[in-house]
A = this chain, B = another copy of it.
């Protein structure tokens, strides 16, 4: 069975696992007060060309929620895309941890546009909360990527209103691979204050890096993690995963591979006259499809999620991972062509959730 459901449904990358062995044998001090965590911080500082503060977290939801809670004040409003993970798929985690309200804005294909931002004012109106954080997803839930100047533009507007900028980087590596821009140009140089860098979908088992670009912003963050139950004993194991994932540039090569596989799929489909819903910029391809067609695709051995899109249409989301092989892509393109030829299908879809 070929699995294109998500980049978190494949096993972790053997290359990452192999690099974990030494750390597992050595152990480390508890509560992120260990050597590997310090080394990972150094690696990240080099990669981002900036002294960073870094905290390993087990889940992406927690990374986003805690990072936003850290930056948002008591009466926060978090501006995010109406198609963002924090708004649609985290069961209110950001609100729970931050007591802020999420304010979804409609963008274009999941990307926030400058003209789509609401009027951002540090209002004194006591009847309303204050916009405090702008949250960008890099890449977006539709697989699109923000370029450095786009981030600068959006972040600039937020900063002008006294807001802070959060980046949900669960697929940040794919954006680096696509744009060819440096990690720094895509983050702090463009105005990003905190990045939640995802290693889980890139090949680690389960580990995300919360990266603050200004040390002041990280004040008491370990306490926030502790109170939320996210500061465990063997945090070094999370750091070790991130370290192994970064080591020798694996993170970027893996993202380049994923992107290439998705691009290949996009091209094969276009060659067959099938136009993906969105520009293929990271590791996801969306193909409009009926429930019945989706069912047929699953029956042919290609697992995927059928997801309702912002414009109301329905699409199969096909996600590539570090383990995707070209032969799978060829077979998938062929299978999609076949199932789209079936127009009468009325069968129920097999799996229709996203992540």
Could you tell me which A residues sit within 8 Å of B by CB distance? Answer: 6, 8-12, 14, 17, 24-31, 57-63, 65-66, 73-75, 88-93, 95-97, 99, 101-102, 125-129, 200-201, 205-206, 220, 222-234, 237, 353, 355
CB pair B96–A227 under 8 Å, yes or no, is: yes
Q: Is the interface of A mostly helix, strand, loop or mixed?
A: loop
Nearest chain B residue, comparing its CB with the CB of A204? B234
Cross-chain pairs A/B with CB under 8 angstroms, 30 sampled: A8-B233, A9-B30, A10-B27, A11-B26, A12-B27, A31-B126, A31-B355, A59-B229, A60-B232, A61-B229, A61-B232, A65-B229, A73-B220, A74-B224, A89-B127, A89-B128, A90-B229, A91-B126, A91-B127, A92-B129, A95-B101, A101-B102, A126-B222, A127-B226, A127-B353, A129-B227, A201-B233, A228-B229, A230-B230, A233-B355
What residues on B are CB-neighbors of A126 within 8 Å? 31, 91, 222-223, 225-226, 231
**A234 adjacent to B205 (CB under 8 Å):** yes
Set B9, B74, B230: member contacting A59, Cβ < 8 A: B230
Whether A206 and B237, one on each chain, are in contact in the complex, defined by CB atoms closer than 8 angstroms, is: yes
Known: A128-B89, A200-B232, A227-B96. A12 touches B24 (CB 8 A): yes
Interfacial chain B residues near A227, Cβ < 8 Å: 75, 90-93, 96, 129
Tell me whether A30 and B8 are in contact (CB under 8 A).
Answer: yes
Q: Taking A75-B220, A200-B234 as given, write out 20 further A-B residue pairs in contact, using a Cβ cutoff of 8 Å, ordered by the A residue number.
A: A10-B27, A11-B27, A30-B355, A58-B232, A59-B232, A59-B233, A62-B230, A74-B224, A75-B91, A90-B226, A91-B226, A93-B228, A96-B99, A101-B102, A125-B353, A126-B222, A126-B226, A127-B355, A200-B233, A205-B234
B66–A229 CB distance below 8 A:
yes
A224 to B96, CA, bound (A): 10
Chain B residues, Cβ within 8 Å of A60: 232-233
The docked-state distance in angstroms from the alpha carbon of A228 to that of B57 is: 12
**Contact, CB under 8 Å: A232 / B220:** no
Q: How far is the CA of A193 from the CA of B99 in the complex (A)?
A: 26
Q: Which of B11, B65, B231 makes the CB contact (< 8 A) with A24? A: B11
Q: How far is the CA of A61 from the CA of B12 in the complex (A)?
A: 26
Bound-complex Cα distance A254 to B147 (A): 53
Least Cβ distance of A164 to chain B in Å?
16
Provide the residues of chain B in CB contact with A229, threshold 8 Å.
57, 59, 61-63, 65-66, 90, 93, 97, 228, 230
CA distance A226 to B237 in the complex (A): 22
List of 10 A-B pairs having minimum Cβ-Cβ separation, nearest first: A62-B229, A11-B27, A8-B233, A59-B232, A91-B226, A61-B229, A89-B127, A126-B222, A206-B234, A91-B227
